[in-house]
Chains A and B, each alone.
Chain A
Amino acid sequence: MALEETGYEKLVQEISSLFSGRAPPFLYINDPVSPRTTAHVVNSVLSSIAHSSDASSRVYHAQINAVACFNPRILYSTVLNQLAGWGVQWAQGSMNWGGERWSENLDGFVHGLKAVHSFIREKFLGSNKGKSKQTNDVTDLGQIVIVVERPERLSEQQVDILVPLTRLAELTQLDLSVILVSDVPWEDMRSPFGASPDPYYVDVLPLNKEALLRRLNAAFNGLSSGFESTTAANPYHPSLRSLYSQYLSVLLDSCSLYVQDPNELQYIAAARWPGFVKPILDAQNFRPDEDVDMDGNDEPALKPPPEDIRMRLIHWTMPPTGRHQMSQSQICLEIHRVKRNRCQTLVARPRSRTSDSLTCLACQKFILVAAYLASTNPHTSDVRMFGRGVDEKKRKRRPRKSTAKGGTTKASTERYVFLARIRSPLDRIIAILGALLEENDVDRRLPAPEYTIPGEQTDMEIARVGVYNAVIELADIGLLHRTSPSDKLDGPPTFKCGISYNTSAALARQLDVTLDDLLWDPA
């Protein structure tokens, strides 16, 4: 049995029994855990049937991925080329099989499929010419099978393809079967009004622990078979097989509760194994009578994966320890972290940046704070918050009302965090920026004797190209959200602030601005 089929014996059996006779024209395989693995298994089963000795039960199959075939033309040409066993030749202008315009639309595709079918028949007849004359019957040829991975993308982006694809056998009048493999149930992606026929459902259950263990062990056996002849210490040496299965059972005991995807488990096992086995190999290497192994060639292989390259393991696992064996509790701790961090990543999905990544320029910091104020304060409050009399040298700071009562501060702070953001035109942000700079940045500026009127220098500063440039840059990296179409020339563009209260408060603190004093508090 092929390596990728290990653990999926039930599915393998079901598929092969289906294709030993006439398989239904439309199959839907639903695997909510790991559709990628399932698709591999299906393909591997089909390939083994394709080479079976009995001509009538042979299949000719094509496997496509709906993400990679994001366009009908790619989908059609990929299917036809695979069915015909056609290798595209660069030297011949990367011609598709047949050289006809079969990939242009659905009609062409149907014709193409018929052409492929007769091509296959001719090839089959040609190879059987001498042996028997009675194989003229078309039904003996075997089935054409198209396996589609991630078909949910079709229902999102190429809806008009999905229905014909499910009815392909009807359309072509060929003995043909289409298999969709997805983690989404068919009910969620089927087209309305029953345009597609009901499929033959196959549900794949998550693997149990025993099957997982067999699967992962098989993976190790596949690896270690390459090292059988070597005597040098190596983490994948066959003699470590029993240790590996112990390691796996410890790993699965703790992980399988949370992670069921065999790919993920295989990844964790593969990434942790070198660190796990290192002490043993070290002990082996330092045996005084074995100086053959001291040549250091094995050293790179023994190193655990560097922390920074293993994105998935950054938070998930501890740095490899020199201890002899990772205890059960340590693994549990790791798994706990895995869970916690996964939740965090999921929550953090809406683009939010942590404040530590915000090390931008002073000018950008001021703009961000100004944008935050602009999108939190209502614009009617601007004159009162930032306006100043003509004769006043410095604006009188409004004494904060809420500082006296501790409770309200917290409540109002929380309100700001969840406050609906106001779109504000660029000019308003720039004007607030001017007010901020006038209050907080005057002392830091270079001396400029040419400006005599109070505030004139600020007016010049906020009109500079650099400021506009910084706004565009911030909008590009998503810290400001542009809310007006970018190709519109009429009127100023509008922006929303993309940072949270906490981040802007941190920025304001770096700039010595008291943000809370500038936030409009209607209470």
Chain B
Amino acid sequence: MSRHLEDIQQTAIYIPFDEDSDPDATVEPSFPSSNTAIDLDDGPRLRFEAYTAAWTQCLRRIKSIIAELYSPVVSAISDRMNNIHTDVLPGLPFPELPAITISDLAGGSVFLDHLSGRFDEDATFVNHLYPSDCLNLTSAMKNLIGGFIDRDPDAPKRKPTSLAPYDLNLLQAWYDVTKDPRPSLIVLLHDFEQFDTSVVQDIFYICSLQVERLPLTFMLSLSTPSSASYLQASFPRSTLTLLRVYHFVVPSGREVLHTLIFKTFFDPLCDFHLLPGPALLEYVEDYYTTHNPSLDALITLLQVAHLKHFTDVFTCLSTSTSFISSNPTASEQAFCTALLARLHPNKSKRNEGEWRAQARSPDILLQAVDRERTAFRRRATTIKMGVTLLNVILASLRGTAIDKALDRWRGAAGLRRVLDGDEAGVAGLADQLRKLPSADRDALLEKVETYLDDMPEALRPESGNGDLAGSLETFLSDLLEPPETLTPLWSIWYTGLTPFPSEMLNPALRPSILSGLSFPHSYTGQDLVLEDEETLEDLPDTSILFKGYVKAGKMINVYDWFDHFRTVLEGQRARAAKGKGKGKKVKDDGEEEDRWRLSVQARFIRALHELDYLGLMKHTSRGGGGRKGEYVLRTVLSVLE
């Protein structure tokens, strides 16, 4: 914990709730379950392990793909860095300050992490500056200088009579005594668009005066696609003349998304625990293109998808099955029964014997699961090959006459169309292929043949029955048969049409708050009480107050509101008394009554303030008393109950 608190790179720190605040107590991760009734005793642990294995594998794959995607730009930048202060055009009137712009539409830290990973820590000092560090010139210079000189833990102590901490000469003095080989100094400005341009202008000017003796390099991280036009538009010419700018563009956009998705999940050579279904793919593409194009967000999204998937009770079977003893306990019994029911959704005469055997012995049942798994893996590989073949075809037809018509099979959205059993799949591809001119067709055939040569013998199509386009389409649709048809247990390895829990990543603020106030129990996880029988008295104070709020008019009289609240609390009290039985005589003395009244008032005020903090009311002076008037104004109207 303390390690996180001291790390200045962390922008947010999560301090988990610790009930007895004992630092030694380790809390077992409790993994949620889709159906606790049939879950195994250590099901959460097993599923968590399965999740960890699957996600680690997936993340590693994603990271290596990202590294591959970024490596050309990263090495271009580091090549440029190597001679950025020596490769200078001779004869210039004064030295220019080298600046590298990195325009990364995706934003986020992924690319910059890759880049800083490339630099040698001892030879390259990178100073990260954020817009909040540079609100004015003094603090900007102080951070710029401090970022370098504070690395030295045993720097000589400076006195008030020393150089000012925002004086660039201080950095110069530090640089003059650094040992050979001198480190290269990089100032990395994150979110460059958010910097105050006048401050940045002055920084550039000051640093350019000393660049000959103090070789600083500026790196500007922008999220504007065209950094040249951004610089032109935001800075005067007098500043631009000081700079020698090199522009680099980080790959981003749909292409990156598709490469990532295909290479991660649909590479036939990679055997993954989880195959994403159409619904997930569609959501990923939608979220990436409309809301957040950053890779950080994409990775989080996939991780949430994994987490969600492994809440399914049966996913503990995703890789291994050797955990049910021959003498099953009660929970294991329940699990097996449910599994058996899942395995045989419609019992028929034909497989009744099999059913009996599996019902009798968990081992036989689990062997059946093993068989299903192997079958699913094989099918998954087939699908991946189909997807790859489709991509080969689509790639080779790029730029031809039918390019536009093929767009509906492209990308993650296209994948959804192909994998969704209800959609047309690849139907219609043959018609398009028939329209191809012969030269393009020959090129396509060549590509397809090279691809098919690498395929396993068993999967290759029978050759030649004249209509090539038609047979290609049939072949593809055979390969791409939706996995739901293969095994009743498909949901262990395939997300299918399960919708992504989008509320987790992109919640709607106001509706969530309101529904949280209206139905608090469905958020606190105590939703086992049947909703129909829930009365006002079961709710927490704030929600009771909120119910009154919803029913009121535009203005609420606070006293009436309190009255309503008190009535409900009285009801609560009476019920509690009844619950305890008549055994304990309720004393009717005045002191007790006074205390109760006070506590009702206190509870009311607390609940009122909670609603106030949520911004649900506006105080008025109606009824006298300035802002403490008798009436409050509702700020949220027309709440759906």
Contacts and interface: CB of A to CB of B under 8 A. Distances in A.
A314 B137 contact: no
A273 B91 contact: yes
Contacts of B209: 65, 68
Interface in B84-113: 87, 89-94, 105
Nearest to B158: A93
A88 B174 CA distance: 9
B231 A311 contact: yes
Interface string B225-268: 11011111110110011011111000000000000000000000
**Which of B89, B93, B177 has most chain A Cβ within 10 Å?**
B93
Contact of B162 (A94, A300, A305, A468): A94
B444 interface: no
B156 A96 contact: no
Nearest to B156: A93
B234 A351 contact: yes
B167 A361 contact: no
A95 B162 contact: yes
B168 interface: yes
Interface string B265-304: 0000000000000000011001001111100000000000
Interface stretch (B310-318, B388-396, B507-515): B507-515
Nearest to A366: B290
A302 B174 CA distance: 37
Contacts of A465: 506-509
Contact of B166 (A71, A98, A311): A71
Interface in B206-240: 206, 209, 223-226, 228-234, 236-237, 240
Contact of A446 (B166, B174, B282, B510): B282
B137 A460 contact: no
Interface in A167-205: none
A236 B174 contact: no
Interface string A448-482: 00000100000111011110111000001110000
Contacts of B92: 266-267, 270
A363 B173 contact: no
A88 B169 CA distance: 8
A67 B169 CA distance: 14
A214 B598 CA distance: 95
Nearest to A361: B290
A222 to B, nearest CB: 9
Contact of A88 (B173, B205, B234, B506): B173
B585 interface: no
A9 interface: no
Contacts of A460: 508, 511
B233 A348 contact: yes
A93 B159 contact: yes
B291 A90 contact: no
B163 A356 contact: no
A478 B233 CA distance: 12
Contacts of A285: none
B324 interface: no
Interface residues on B, range: 35 or more
Given A96-B163, A308-B247, A357-B226, A223 B91 contact: yes
B16 interface: no
A98 to B, nearest CB: 8
A312 B93 CA distance: 14
B176 interface: yes
B291 A476 contact: no
A363 B228 contact: no
**Which of B137, B161, B226, B231 has most chain A Cβ within 10 Å?**
B161
Interface string A341-352: 010010011011
A486 to B, nearest CB: 12
Nearest to B98: A309
A94 B170 contact: yes
Contact of A71 (B138, B193, B511): B138
Contacts of B236: 349
Interface in B180-205: 191, 193-194, 202, 205
Contacts of A351: 233-234
Given A94-B158, A101-B161, A357-B226, A309 B246 contact: yes
Contacts of B241: 264, 267, 311-312
A91 B206 contact: no
A506 to B, nearest CB: 15
Nearest to B292: A466
A263 interface: yes
B164 interface: yes
A163 B167 CA distance: 23
Contacts of A363: 290-291
B464 interface: no
A70 interface: yes
Contacts of A266: 91-93
B505 to A, nearest CB: 8
Interface string A379-410: 00000000000000000000000000000000
A73 B170 CA distance: 13
Interface in A209-227: 219-220, 223
A78 B172 CA distance: 13
B350 interface: no
Interface in A60-94: 65, 67-68, 70-71, 73-74, 77-78, 81, 88-94
B202 A309 contact: no
A217 B231 CA distance: 33
Interface string A305-320: 1001101101000000
Interface in A16-72: 36-37, 65, 67-68, 70-71
A446 B290 contact: no
B161 A99 contact: yes
Given A70-B138, A96-B162, A267-B93, A312 B174 contact: no
Contacts of A96: 161-163
Given A93-B156, A267-B92, A476-B193, A361 B291 contact: yes
Interface string B129-162: 0000000011001000000000000011111111
A199 B224 CA distance: 48
A215 to B, nearest CB: 10
Given A93-B162, A100-B161, A308-B228, 4 more contacts: A67-B205, A70-B206, A96-B161, A477-B193
Q: Which 8 pairs between the two chains have the least Cβ-Cβ distance?
A: A270-B91, A463-B508, A466-B291, A263-B93, A477-B193, A266-B93, A93-B156, A90-B173
Interface of B: 87, 89-94, 105, 137-138, 141, 155-164, 166-170, 172-174, 176-177, 191, 193-194, 202, 205-206, 209, 223-226, 228-234, 236-237, 240-241, 243-247, 282-283, 286, 289-293, 506-511, 640
